[in-house]
Amino acid sequence: MSPFARGSGRTLWTAARLIVLLTVLLGLVYPLTVTGVAQVVFPRQAQGSLVHDRHGQVVGSALLGQSFTDPSGAPLRQYFQSRPSAAGDGYDARSSSGSNLGPEDPRLIAEVEQRRAAVAALEQVDPALVPPDALTASGSGLDPHISPAYAELQVARVAAARGLPLAQVRDLVARHTHGPALGYVGQARVDVLALNLALDEAGGRR
């Protein structure tokens, strides 16, 4: 056997052993270690930041938006509505994405105008008062928050549907409004799922 062939054989054998070693370390040991540490140190986050209702039933995740509609797809008047979603059929974590339509795309313009008219009709307001986050999906399509402006637009409808005072519903909105991260990153936001759960706790018609 030539020296070149012997050298090539040793190189291939070394490469094969390295592939096996790295596969075990990075494909098995490292993921299992990180998963184990996460389960001990951050168990709630490791399980998906699941949210439970007062009966202990899982009703969603703090990280993922969801729709509050009836089987026909019509908005439930007694709940605050989430931001639109372009992820799969809506809020599908397996298909996280925006619409990827440009701002001058006729399809996006048509969707925005359709949403504007629908929100204005639902909330009984002038279409010009509908805030941007009620019209467009987030980049992930999974945003669990809405703006305080969009929440305020919905207060009257939710209060009327539940037979609750406006002040009480506004107070619940304020309690579930979070300021910018670290005090300056991003904007204030309202946690829709937590707010709707608080409404159920508050009572009123459902």
Domain extent listing, the chain: 3-44, 49-202
Residue 44 is predicted with a pLDDT of 67
Low-confidence residues of the chain: pLDDT under 50 = none
Q: Is the pTM of this model over 0.85?
A: no
User: What is the C-alpha to C-alpha distance for residues 135 and 118, in angstroms, rounded to an integer?
Assistant: 10
Cβ count within 10 A of residue 14: 10
Residue 5 is predicted with a pLDDT of 57
Give the position of tokens 């207060």: 155
Secondary structure of residue 159 in the 3-state scheme: helix
| Residue 55, amino acid | H
Query: C-alpha angle 178/182/184, rounded to 5°?
Result: 85
Residue 3 is predicted with a pLDDT of 57
